[in-house]
Each structure stands twice: as C-alpha cells, then as structure tokens.
Amino acid sequence: MRYLLIALLCLLPRFALAGEAKDIADDPVMEKRMILLAEKVRCLVCQSEAVSTSHSDWSNDVRQIMREKMKAGATDQEILDLLVERFGKSVLFDPPIDEETAPLWVAPFALMLLGGIGLFFKLRKRQTELTTTELSSAEAQRVSALLDDAAESAPSSKKDSQA
Amino acid sequence: MKRFILPLVIFLVLTGFLYKGLSLDPREVPSPLVGKAAPAFVLPLLHEPEKTFSPKDMAGKVWLLNVWASWCGACKDEHPVLMALSQQNLVPIVGLDYKDKREDGEATLRKAGDPYSLTIADADGKVGFDYGVYGVPETYVIDKQGMIAYKLIGAVTAQNLRDTILPLVAELQAK
C-alpha cells in the first residue's frame, strides 16, 4: 500500500500537467473512494441529489476538490469537515447529532412516545367505561324477552338467532 | 363539538407549517461562515492582472464582496441596484468575477457599467469555494476586523439592500 502511494505520488507532477482532471479517472482506486465519499454529500444546487451523481457545475467542482485533497493525502473525514466548514452541516446527508440537530433527531421519537402515552390512557379509559356498564335486572329481563320474541316470530332466521 | 377541536387544531398547525414552507427557498442554506473571519486569499485584479488584491487590503473598512459572473442571469437583475448603490458612495463594493473568462467579465462591465471599487478574477473558483459560494450571485458584508457579518444568497434587490444590508453596514461602520 505504501509503495503504491509512493508510486502515485511520483505520478503527481504528471497530473498537474494534465490540468483540470475530468470525471474520467486518472486513478481508479481513488476515483472509487471519491465517489463513495461524494455519496455522502448533498448537492446544494440540486437538492436531494448526491454530489456523486449530480452533473451540476457545483458538484463537479466539489468532486474535483475531493480529488485534489485526496491526492494531497487528506482523509475522508478531513474532506467532509472542510465541506461542512464552508457550506454548513446540511451538505451532509447524514448530519452529526449535536445541540443544533438534536431536536430533529429526537422529535419523531418524542412525538411517537407522546402519541403512545395518549393512546394508552385513552384505551384504558375506554376499558373502564366498558366494564362499568351493567344492566339492571329489569333491563336484563327486557333483553331476554325481546330475544325470545325475535326467535319465535322469525323461524326462518332460527339458525342465526341460535348461533 | 368538542371532539372536532383537536383535529381542527392539528389541521391548522400543519397548514401553517406547509404555508410557511411555500415561501422558503431550500437553496438558502445558512452559511456557517457568518461570524467567522473572511478566508484569506490573493487574487489578480480583473482589469489589471499584474496587480493583486487581498481582503487584508480592506482592513479597517466595512465592505461588500459581491460574487458575480458574466454567465450569471440573476447578476444582470442586481446590476442596476449595485450601480445605484455605488453612486451613493456608502460602502465600497468589491466584485469577484467567479469562474469567468477575463474578456467576458471585462466586456460585461464595459457594456453595463462598473459598480465596483475594484474587481478581482477568480477564474478557477477556488476562492469562491473557500467562501462557500454555490450559487451566483452572492454578497458578503465584511466588517472592519475582516469578519463576515452577513451573507446574501441570490440577487441584491432595492428591498433587501434597504431592509438588511445598508442598516447592517451603517451599524458596522459606527462601531
């Protein structure tokens, strides 16, 4: 790996001569690494698209800068930090959790918890309402009388009423 | 009646958020550079490439850095506003010709007029990148200590000049 790097470094002056590198890779390994990294970065001028797939001018520039920084030996994290420093955390598709973004991460779970608690109490209240409903003996008699009536007056539906 | 109140409240709150969302521009990302020192650079002037400009040259002054380009449509909209502003002599405007050909940038200023105290050429966009430029035009208000006090994404208009930029400039100049 180290020898590969040294070999790549020896090639560096040639890249410099080649001028601005286009999307076609000078170095397939680095290009792959760059694309992987660019997938994590939001294209600011196209919204909801990653820098890795965007054809916008701005994304081209960002990819070019990634290549240059990688050639200069920067780590992926250093490159992401650099972008965040310039363009804010919203350039990352997966922004870090900190004071500023915490509400966004926590809010859905907090709302779900709140809804769950509400639902729990609502259901419990309904349960107690159901169990406390009792028939007085007069009502019970009336119900059975009505049921008997129905069974006698409609023999065709006997099956249903017995069931 | 009571059972309708909660859904109604939820509906109204949601509608409120959605309505607000209509007028927000998702491209306007708050710049992390506001409140930080303006990145240092040395760039050649557009009209006299043998001379250079650096933000240090403006130390002790409040100034505007206006990023523009000959290929940029919205820059043509803000151009008359900048022309009017430059005639009032309230604040120096430094133009940064972003990713542009020198002759195109010069031709634009010759034709439409030059509102800038001086114009610098950022042919490869490297300085623009350092300033977090992703849409042109963009305008920065930089204070006497060389800190970025404000960043406007999009065209300068008579309205945002009057309501935001000029009051801020006056406040910073008084400091």
**Tens digits of per-residue pLDDT, B37-67?**
899 999 999 999 999 999 999 999 999 999 9
CA A101 – CA B9 distance, rounded (Å):
27
Cis peptide before B80 (omega within 30 of 0): no
Beta-carbon contacts below 8 Å between A and B: 37
Residue A16, pLDDT above cutoff 60: no
Q: Which of A55, A56, A77, A57 is nearest to A66 (CA)?
A: A77
Q: Output the DSSP codes for chain A.
A: -HHHHHHHHHHHHHHHHT-S--SS-SSHHHHHHHHHHHTTBB-TTTSS-BTTT--SHHHHHHHHHHHHHHHTT--HHHHHHHHHHHH-GGGBSSPPPSTTTHHHHHHHHHHHHHHHHHHHHHHHHHHHHHHH----HHHHHHHHHHHHHHHHH-GGGHHHHH-
Residue A18, pLDDT above cutoff 90: no
- Condensed to tens digits (0 to 9), the pLDDT of residues B59-118 reads 999 999 999 999 998 999 999 999 999 999 899 999 999 999 999 999 999 999 999 999
Sorting pLDDT into bands at 50, 70 and 90, what band is B158? very high
Q: pTM of the entire structure?
A: 0.69
Partner residue opposite A45 with nearest CB, options B125, B131, B134 = B134
Q: Answer yes or no: do A58 and B134 touch at CB < 8 A.
A: yes
* DSSP symbol at B98: E
Tell me what pLDDT residue A19 has. Answer: 46
For chain B, say whether A128 makes contact (Cβ under 8 Å).
no
More confident residue, B69 or A4: B69
Residue A9, pLDDT above cutoff 70: no
Q: Answer yes or no: do B27 and A90 touch at CB < 8 A.
A: no
Mutation for testing the B interface, residue in A20, A59, A87, A111 having most B CBs under 10 Å: A87
3-state helix, strand, coil in chain B (%, to 5): 45, 20, 35
Tell me what pLDDT residue A94 has. Answer: 85
Residue A7, pLDDT above cutoff 90: no
Residue A163, pLDDT above cutoff 50: no
How would you classify residue A52: left for phi > 0, otherwise alpha for psi between -120 and 50, otherwise beta?
alpha
CB B128 within 8 A of CB B98: yes
Tell me what pLDDT residue A141 has. Answer: 87
**DSSP-based three-state secondary structure for B74:** helix
